[in-house]
Structure 1
Amino acid sequence: MNINGLYNELKKIGDSKLSRCIKLYLVKKQTEGTNIILYNLEVESEVQIDLLNIFKVYFQNSRTRNREQLEYDVVMDHTDKSKFLVIESNKYNGIENFIELFEDPSPADTIKGIDVAEFIAYAVHVCIPDELNFSFVGEFTSLSKVSKMKVVGNLKNNKFNKLDTNDTFGFSKNIAMVIYDDEVLIKHLPIFEKCCQMETEFKKNSAEVLNSIASFKFIDNIEELLHTAEKDTRIARRLTKMNSDPDRVKAFFTNKDRVKLVLKDPEFNDKFKGIEYNGSTLVYDSKLRQQFITLISDASYESIVGGQKRIDNSL
Structure 2
Amino acid sequence: MSFVRHLGLVLFFFVCALQSAQAARSVSAEDLIRKSGGDASIVELREAMRSGLEAVKAQGLPVDETFASAWNDAADAAFQPGKVLPRIAETLNGVFTQAEHDEIAAFYDSPLGARIVQFEKDGSSFKKQAEVTAYAQSLTSDPGKYASRMALYHQLDEAAGLTKISISIAMNMGIAIQAGMVAWGKLPMELSFDDIKREAEKQRPAISQQMAGALYASMAYIYKDVSQEDMLVYINFAKSPAGAKFMAAYFAAVDLALTEAGRDFGKRLAENFGRKPI
Give the structure with the larger helix fraction.
2
Smaller-chain TM-score bracket: under 0.3
TM-score w.r.t. the length of structure 2 is: 0.27
* Structure with more strand by fraction: 1
Structure of higher CA gyration radius: 1
